[in-house]
Structure formats: C-alpha cells, structure tokens
Amino acid sequence: MLAVEGGEPVRETLLPYGCQAIDEDDVQAVVETLRSEWLTTGPKVDEFEEAFAARVGAKHAISFSSGTAALHGAAFAAGLGPGDEAITSPLTFAATANCVLYQGATPAFVDVSPDTLTLDPEQVAFRINSRTRAVLPVDYAGHPCDLDPLLQLAERHGLVVIEDACHALGAEYRGRGIGSLSHMTVFSFHPVKHITTGEGGMVTTDNAEFAKTLRCFRNHGISSDARHRQTVGQWHYEMVLLGFNYRLTDIACALGLQQLKKLEANLARRRKIAASYSEAFRKIPAILCPVVCAEVNPAWHLYPIRLNLSKLSANRGEILRALRGENIGVNIHYIPVHLHPYYRDRFSYKGGEFPVAEDAYERLISLPMSHAMRDTDVEDVIWAVTKVVEHFTK
C-alpha cells in the first residue's frame, strides 16, 4: 500500500533531490584559509580560477559570488542594454532570464526541442531580429545544447552566446568540454551542483576583453584589485564602470579547489546513477527517461523523468505527493519562466506561448540525483518510483 494511503514508506527518512558531499580535506582547506592572511580576493581565488580554466579548457575563468551574479556579469560584458533582446529558454531557473532584465534588455523566449528540452536552434533562427544581441542556451539537466548551429547563427548575425552551463560542469559536446565552446559559459557552485563553494559561480571565456570586463564588473567596476595594489605598494585606484561587489571569497575558493579535485569521481557517480535509473525505468511504459543525444556526454545535474499521463490514473501532482510520502525528495524543474507572476504581469504572457516547454512542465518530475547518494539510496528511488507508478497505471 502507498505511504500516502497509510502503508509503510519505502524509506524512514527523506532522501533530498540534491545534496553536497563534504569531506575532511574540504574542511581542512577552509580552516587553513581562515587562519591565513587573506579571507577574500587573495591567492586562493587565482588558484581556483586557474585550475577551473584548465579543467574546462578555457583561456580565462572569472569567479563570482553566485551563478546568478556570473550570469549578470556575462550579460553586462556582452553589452546587453535597453532596446536589446536576448533569446533564451523558458524551461530554466528564472536567473537565466533575469540577468537580461538586470541590464534593461528583454528576454525573448523560444520553445525547446521535445527530446532534450534544450533550446531549439531552428526556432532560435526564426526569432532573431534587428534587436537580438545575445543567445542564452541552457544545458538543461546537464545535457549540452546543440551548440554548433547556435554558434553558427551567432557568427552570422553578430550575436554573443552566453551558455548557461550551471547544470553542466564536466559535460561534453562532440568530444569537447563544456566551458570551452561558447563566447562565455556560466557555472554555479550551489550545494546541489557537481562541486560546491556554498554559493559561487564562474564565467569561462577565451576572449580577453570579456575577461577584463568581467573582472572589473565583479569588483565595483574598479580596474585593479586590492591585493595587486598592496603588492606593488599603490593606493590609487579608479572606478571605470558601474559594477557590483560580486567577488567570491578566498574561503569559498579554498573549498572550490578541493572540490574540483573530486569532479571526475562526482561525474562518474552521477553517470552511474543515471544509468541505473534508465535501466530500471526504460521498461515502465508510463515513464519517459531523459533523452541523450549521440554527440553529447551529459553531466547529470538532474534526472528529470516525464510521465506519460495517458497511461496513468493520477496527475503529476498526485504522483509527486505519493513519492514524497515514500520519503523520496522529488522536485520539479522548472515552472516555465514566462509563467511566473512577475513575467506574466510585465510581459502579458497568458500560457500557451511555448507548448513544448509547458507540456513538459505538466509531466516532469526530477528524481534525487547527487554524487553523495549511496547504492541503497538509488535502490530506494527505483523501488518507490516503480511502486507509485505501477499503482497508478491504468
């Protein structure tokens, strides 16, 4: 019997949908930095940025206090301003589109592909007009977007591609690492991500001008940093653009450096969990597993299944409640951005504008996915999903 109907839950305690893994090396690294001379904008920031750039194969990596701040920096560096449009996906976290609004520009949503739920390049091509200045593709769930056609469109129309890879650290597209392909690529180090700094983000780029602007923007628009001035004995500094304090601390970067050493193991664990889920759920007709294109190696930030509602006697909300009753911390990614009250009110969206994203939203459930999960956790998820979905199968 289902737990929501009074039966025994599959687990005694809640398994969260995402969770960090922190070990003794991480704790030691943070403690050492707390005892050091620099708590912020010191040597650990440089070390983390250099190690990160090397890992993703980019010339420059510029750290930020969050993925959202990093997106804002990238939107600024791309030159987005009032009157401009940036094309992006509605099926994402609101921060992707919000960074366009921070710059006074307008997000132009385009529907996603029905298979991967990433931005559809054909629809992007159709949406480009004289106001379009940037494209912000989102590597949804850790599956890279179809970047080659997007980059070709950008080249043809003089656009900047800001890839939101907050889900995709360690993913590959046509054998090349995410972070080395778009004009700017943005990452997040929130605790549910592949590596964490508590809060934190990064922009990677091969473009030296973008890198210079990003460094300046995250530091109030000041053209030199305090450590450099101290080293050369200089007091004078100049604010050359209107920036913010979006700096990531040395404490956070010390943690990031340690976490980065574990990225390969974290990715391998996530890929193994995804393979176990796909193996188990492929046989269940009411479940559509995430689609993986041949040319990509996803990073599996999320494992979002889609329900085939025509085969079920319950809607997504009832299935979600039943899974939570079994102590499986399922979640929804995402409420399409244009359907949030702020976007509805400001841009008069009514629903129905982006049918693929909206249909996916009605059927999506993100299962727990984290490199901290044990084999027994994975078994619990498989058992609970099978139990609940079979219960409601017509």
Ligand X SMILES: Cc1ncc(COP(=O)(O)O)c(C=O)c1O
Whether the Cβ atoms of residue 178 and residue 170 lie closer than 8 Å to each other: yes
- Tell me the three-class secondary structure of the chain, residue by residue: CCHHHCCCCCCCCCECCCCCCCCHHHHHHHHHHHCCCCCECCHHHHHHHHHHHHHHCCCEEEEECCHHHHHHHHHHHCCCCCCCEEEECCCCCHHHHHHHHHCCCEEEECCECCCCCCECHHHHHHHCCCCEEEEECECHHHCCCCHHHHHHHHHHHCCEEEEECCCCCCCEECCEECCCCCCEEEEECCCCCCCCCCCCEEEEECCHHHHHHHHHHCECCECCCHHHHHHHCCCCCCECCCCCECCCEHHHHHHHHHHHHCHHHHHHHHHHHHHHHHHHHCCCCCEECCCCCCCEECCCCCEEEEECHHHECCCHHHHHHHHHHCCECCECCCCCHHHCHHHHHHHCCCCCCCHHHHHHHHHEEEECCCCCCCHHHHHHHHHHHHHHHHHHEC
Binding of ligand X by 248 (CB under 6 A): no
Binding of ligand X by 117 (CB under 6 A): no
Binding of ligand X by 90 (CB under 6 A): no
What backbone torsions phi and psi does residue 369 show, to the nearest 5 degrees?
Answer: -145, 115
Nearer to ligand X, 177 or 201 (CB): 201
Binding of ligand X by 96 (CB under 6 A): yes
Q: Judge whether 44 counts as a catalytic residue.
A: no
Binding of ligand X by 98 (CB under 6 A): no
Nearer to ligand X, 92 or 116 (CB): 92
What backbone torsions phi and psi does residue 309 show, to the nearest 5 degrees?
Answer: -65, -25
Question: Binding pattern to ligand X, positions 174-193, x when CB under 6 A?
Answer: --------------x-x---
Nearer to ligand X, 274 or 302 (CB): 302
Whether the Cβ atoms of residue 168 and residue 299 lie closer than 8 Å to each other: yes
Task: Check 193, 212, 283, 387 and give the catalytic one.
Answer: 193
Q: What is the C-alpha to C-alpha distance for residues 383 and 270, in angstroms, rounded to an integer?
A: 18
Answer for which of 138, 154, 216, 339 binds ligand X (CB under 6 A) is 138
Q: Which stretch binds ligand X (CB under 6 A): 11-19, 64-72, 142-150, 378-386?
A: 64-72
Q: Which stretch binds ligand X (CB under 6 A): 14-22, 54-62, 163-171, 238-246?
A: 163-171
Nearer to ligand X, 2 or 118 (CB): 118
Q: Minimum distance from CB of 94 to ligand X (Å)?
A: 8
Nearer to ligand X, 33 or 98 (CB): 98
Answer for which of 63, 68, 118, 259 binds ligand X (CB under 6 A) is 68
Residues 196-235 within binding reach of ligand X (CB under 6 A): 201
Q: Which stretch binds ligand X (CB under 6 A): 61-69, 279-287, 324-332, 376-384?
A: 61-69
Binding of ligand X by 163 (CB under 6 A): no
Tokens for 11, please give them. Answer: 């687990």
Answer for which of 20, 33, 88, 92 binds ligand X (CB under 6 A) is 92
Binding of ligand X by 73 (CB under 6 A): no
Nearer to ligand X, 97 or 286 (CB): 97
Binding of ligand X by 162 (CB under 6 A): no
Binding of ligand X by 306 (CB under 6 A): no
Q: Minimum distance from CB of 68 to ligand X (Å)?
A: 3
Q: Which stretch binds ligand X (CB under 6 A): 19-27, 51-59, 121-129, 159-167?
A: 159-167
Binding of ligand X by 66 (CB under 6 A): yes
**How big is the site for ligand X, counted in residues (CB under 6 A)?**
14
Whether the Cβ atoms of residue 218 and residue 73 lie closer than 8 Å to each other: yes
Nearer to ligand X, 142 or 325 (CB): 142
Whether the Cβ atoms of residue 204 and residue 215 lie closer than 8 Å to each other: no
Binding of ligand X by 91 (CB under 6 A): no
Catalytic residue numbers read 193
Contact positions toward ligand X, by CB under 6 A? 66-68, 92-93, 95-96, 138, 164, 166-167, 188, 190, 201
